[in-house]
Amino acid sequence: MKSLVVLLILITIPILSLSRDYRKRAHHMEAETYGREDVEAEVMFGRELAVKIVGTYPLLRDRELTMYVNKIGKYMALYSNRPEVEFRFGILNTDHVNAYSAPGGYIFITKGCLMLVKDESELAGILAHEIAHVSERHIVKELNIRGESVVGLGGLSALLSGPAGTVEKTLSVFLDQAYELLFSKGYKMQQEYDADRIATEMLYLAGYDPHALKRFLQRIGNSEYRDQMQKTHPGISDRVVALDKFLSTNKLREDDGKRFEKRFVRMVRFK
């Protein structure tokens, strides 16, 4: 029995970072097709979650800077697979270093994070990473947010527009779970790796330096903000290794795209 336990531990050690996505069967993929009602529910839920996020960190009142971030973000969103979603971008007025996304296309980057960015391609990479969380419906799938059959109460749409009382409490539970995911629990490791990979693809397609996100992560990894970021994300060094592998496998070089450093410095000036 003792040797069996040892064997199990030895088998277990190397598997801690693998995905279990392969368990999904064909009917799960079929079920993952989303209709108009599902998207409406997602946007409504995302809006409520965005209000909660802004309640935690207020928005930075800088119209010019917000417009610039929106321009870059909306440009990157053109390369996502969610044309039906209108992405919106905001800057949170906090020195905390992070970025957040709510279902339905609500994306936030903190002022602290923006201050560590060196060029436009890095900003595009961070926003693309958050766009990927939305386009892959990571929260939507985790909480099974649908336009119908949610908790048997006629769908999330009904929850959000329905009468007060129990339905509001149920919505509140969902929002709390999503909030916990963003601010303390974090996405699943594989979801973060997927978002990094998709963001790098988007950078390349959009004409930005495909190494931008990796470069930004390396900078965070070497800074005092590393632990802060790792509270809700996998180890930065692991993410960099995974991105390195992806970049080399696909032969993506730094000079495959632009950085737009000067434009970024010109546009991003904190008052």
Partner 1 sequence: MEKGLKKDLLGWLGLSSLFAFLLSAGVVFADEFHYRNFIPGERAAGMGGAYTAISDDPSGAFHNPAGLALIIGNKLSVNVNAYHVSDKSYVRVLPRTTGGADDWTLRSSGLVPNFFGIAQKFGPGVVGFSYAVTDSISRHQEQVFYNIKSRLPNRYISRYVININDEDKTYNIGPSYALELSEKLSVGATLYLHYRSARIIRNQLVTLDDGQFEWANGYRKNSEYGLKPILGLMLSPVDKVSLGFTLSKVYLFKSDSRIQGTYRGISSDGFGINRVDFAILTNKEKRDLPYETKAGIAYFPTRTFLISADLAYYTKTDDYEQVLNGAVGMEYYLRPSIALRSGLFTDFANTPKLKSNQTDQRERVDNYGATLSLSYFTKNSAITVGAVYVYGTGKAQIISGQTDIQNVRTNTISVFLGTSYSY
Check residue 249 for interaction with partner 1 (CB under 8 A).
no
Told to check if 61 binds partner 1 by CB under 8 A, we report no
Beta carbons within 10 angstroms of residue 17's beta carbon = 12
Nearest Cα residue to 202 out of 263, 118, 130, 270: 130
Q: Which of residues 13 and 164 has its CB atom nearest to partner 1 in the complex? A: 13
116/264 Cα distance (integer angstroms): 12
Name residues contacting partner 1, limited to 148-167 (CB under 8 A).
149-152
How far is it, in rounded angstroms, from Cα 216 to Cα 239? 11
Q: Which letter, b or e, does each residue of 200-216 get, where b requires 16 or more Cβ atoms within 10 Å of its Cβ? A: bbbbbebebbbbbbbbb
- Minimum distance between the CB of residue 254 and partner 1, rounded to whole angstroms? 30
φ and ψ of 260, to 5 deg: 55, 55
H/E stretch holding 101 reads strand 99-102
Q: Do 170 and 151 meet the contact criterion of CB atoms below 8 Å apart?
A: yes
Smaller CB separation from partner 1, 8 or 164: 8
Q: How far is the CB of 246 from partner 1 (least distance, A)?
A: 16
Helix (H, G, I), strand (E, B) or coil at 3: helix
Please identify, among the stretches 23-31, 64-72, 118-126, 243-251, the one whose residues bind partner 1 according to the rule CB under 8 A: 23-31
C-beta separation of 112 from 97 below 8 A:
yes
17 binds partner 1 (CB under 8 A): yes
Comparison of 10 and 164: residue with beta carbon closer to partner 1? 10
Residue 189 touches partner 1, criterion: CB under 8 A: yes
How many binding residues for partner 1 (CB under 8 A)?
29
Q: How far apart are CA 129 and CA 120, in angstroms?
A: 14
**26 near partner 1, judged by CB under 8 A:** yes
Which residues, numbered 122-151, are part of the site for partner 1 (CB under 8 A)?
Answer: 143-144, 149-151
* Under rule CB under 8 A, residue 188 binds partner 1: yes
**Only segment of 69-77, 165-173, 186-194, 257-265 that touches partner 1 (CB under 8 A):** 186-194
| Interface with partner 1 (CB under 8 A) | 8, 11-12, 14-20, 22-31, 143-144, 149-152, 188-190
